[in-house]
Structure 1
Amino acid sequence: MGTRSGRHGSAGGPAPARARALSAILALLAGLSWCGPAGAEAPPAQDGPSITWSVYEAGPFMMLDGPERGTGIFDRIRGLLAERLGDVSQRTISAPFPRLLAEIRNGADWCFVGGIRTPEREAFAAFSLPVAMFYPLRVIVHAPQRARFEALGPIPLARLLEDGTAWRTSVLLGRSLAPAVDALLRARPPAQTFSEFPEAFRMLLRDRLDYLIEFPSIAAYHARHLQADGALVALPLSETPDPVFSRVMCARTPQGLAVVARIDAILRAERPNPAYRAIVEAWSDPADLPKLRAIYDARFLTSD
């Protein structure tokens, strides 16, 4: 008596055929490399070293959109490093600074061009040789408020922080500016923090903040992009902090330490070159260049 084929079929019926076809498709897909939308980056390989470059909007150091995309100081340095590390799987993720700091603290494969080395961060992060420098640190105010601040003379940041009601400010969450300034901010932390630079500059222009502690190049960039050229003024601090060196910051893991070691070798070869110097000097006020160039030769190239 012959075997009846029911709805689900027998061993030689349609269902096994479909199963074999599905298995063949899955095998084919497993052999293909990842392919995302145009311009998307493949996830890093799981069986070798990888770098997740973290970025956020912080012109003129990082520019994520518009015609200047990818031309910031840190963007160009990151591009140079990525090219030299071509054998390492790499991708780029946009994330606010507090998140990238948390990822590095948790041991992820994230790296950030522009980190400031501090004793607290060295407990969980590895730092490269200096890649660029921040200078000069200033008090940034809305132009209509200039006379109020200039009446103080060289502005004592300690005095401003003592009265956070009369002198309102905000700081980027988790950011380090300079050792002396960081100590003042720890002693008298501002009531407000922010996670994106445009947010803080909008508040300053709307007089919801009285001042920001910032670098003039960053202030000028954001004023221009907020259609407010000339609306912000940079005034000197009485504390006059020294230039601060920025570095590549990765997790303090075996992989992170290995990546930083390779980055250091690249930086030793590239930093003395005129092309690299030009990246570091981009967006600087011409009046600051003599001091920057002297520091570059005397301290930047010799710092560990």
Structure 2
Amino acid sequence: MALAFGALGPARAEDDRITWSVYDAPPYMITEGENRDGGIFDRIRHLLSDRLTGYSSSTLNVPFPRIITSLKNGETWCFVGGVRTPEREGFAAFSRPVAMFYPLRIIVPASKRARFEGLEPLSLHALLTDHRDLRTSVLRNRAIAPSVDALFRQYPPGQTHSEFGEAFRMLLNDRLDYLVEFSSIAAYNARQIGEPGAFVGLPFAEENREPVFARVMCAGTPWGRAVVARIDAVLAAERPGPAYRSIVEAWTAAADLPRIRAVYDTFLASE
């Protein structure tokens, strides 16, 4: 019966399917190569799919802007890894945090390190206003961190991209000078191109001092809110355990592990 929808699961046949949307964003989502489907969000997606009894699921690889459009259209899609923002809360339902993005850095080619260190104290605001000759790009429709998002809205970069690998190839080929990115994403992409030392991550004034939490976001419909309620119940049971902690820490550089572990209790207490 319809009144049991939230507590017992889907009430109608058309509501018992979840389309999990993914795109290539290693090490969070890995759609190609030897580590395919082994990213942090991939592993969380599999865990949730296994626990969400009563739902059938499929996975669809699409660019991130397409994910946002589908959620706005109320399609029965969910995405592991969304950052909650006031604008997105207008069309999406969000779970409690599933993982974290941390730490955030200005990523530059190793060959340009001295040039950027010469600008210290490094500031994204200064790069976007006083050094417009230095080229950067942002992933379309992405939310990185509030202070960074606000700066990119006020001073839009000259380029955008739809895939992480595309941006790092541009950085390597001198079509970009820097990216604002999380260190684990930069390190993974450097390893993938066979040059672990290709990029350097530099602290900057507007970097997030606290982790940015990634969540599952589903369409902000009664269907989506019911799925999120089920997901939150799974997360409440799974997040405190060592197996889940190993997922969150997967692919983290050894130098960043103390940071991740220091904020893990905050992560567990978050809603």
TM-score (norm 2): 0.92
CA RMSD, 1 decimal:
1.3
- Contact kept, 8 Å, 2:16 with 2:54, in 1: the verdict is no
TM-fit CA distance, 1:208:
0.8
**What secondary structure, in the 3-state scheme, does the structure 2 residue paired with 1:68 have?**
coil
Amino acid at match of 1:93: L
**Alpha-carbon contact 1:164-1:190 (below 8 Å) kept:** no
Tell me the secondary structure at the aligned position of residue 214 of structure 1. Answer: strand
- SS of the equivalent of 2:176 reads coil
1:164, distance to aligned residue in structure 2 (A): 5.9
Tell me, which stretches of 5 or more residues in structure 2 are unaligned? Answer: 1-11
Q: Partner of 1:154: helix, strand, or coil?
A: coil
1:61 matched to 2:33? The reply is no
- Which letter does structure 1 place at the counterpart of 2:54? D
Are residue 263 (structure 1) and residue 231 (structure 2) matched? yes
Deviation, 1:285, is: 2.2
2:85 is the alignment partner of 1:118: yes
- Pair 1:243-2:225 in alignment: no
The aligned amino acid for 1:262 is R
CA contact under 8 A between 2:22 and 2:29: conserved in structure 1? yes
Kindly provide the amino acid, as one letter, of the partner of residue 265 in structure 1: A
Q: Is the contact made by 2:101 and 2:212 (CA closer than 8 Å) also made in structure 1?
A: yes
Deviation digits for residues 50-109 of structure 1 (CA, Å, limit 9, x no counterpart): 210000111111111222111100000000000001320211100000101110111111
Match of 1:253 among 221, 228, 232: 221
Count residues in correspondence: 259
Superposition deviation, residue 46 in structure 1:
4.5
> Rg: which structure is higher?
1
Contact residue 114 and residue 246 of structure 1 kept, 8 A: yes
State the SS of the aligned residue for 1:276.
helix
- 1:55-204 to structure 2, matched below 5 A, reads 55-163=22-130, 165-204=132-171
Conserved in 2, the CA contact under 8 Å of 1:164 and 1:191?
no
Provide the identity percentage. Answer: 63
C-alpha distance in 2 between matches for 1:272 and 1:110: 27
Aligned AA (2:159): Q
Query: Which runs of structure 1 show a deviation greater than 3 angstroms over 4 or more consecutive aligned residues?
Result: 45-48
d(CA) in 1 for partners of 2:249, 2:188: 15
Q: Which amino acid in the other structure matches residue 225 of structure 2? A: L
In structure 2, distance between residues paired with 1:251 and 1:71: 25
Asked whether the 8 Å contact 1:49–1:255 carries over to 2, the reply is no
Residue pair 2:93, 2:224 contacting (<8 A) in 1 also: yes
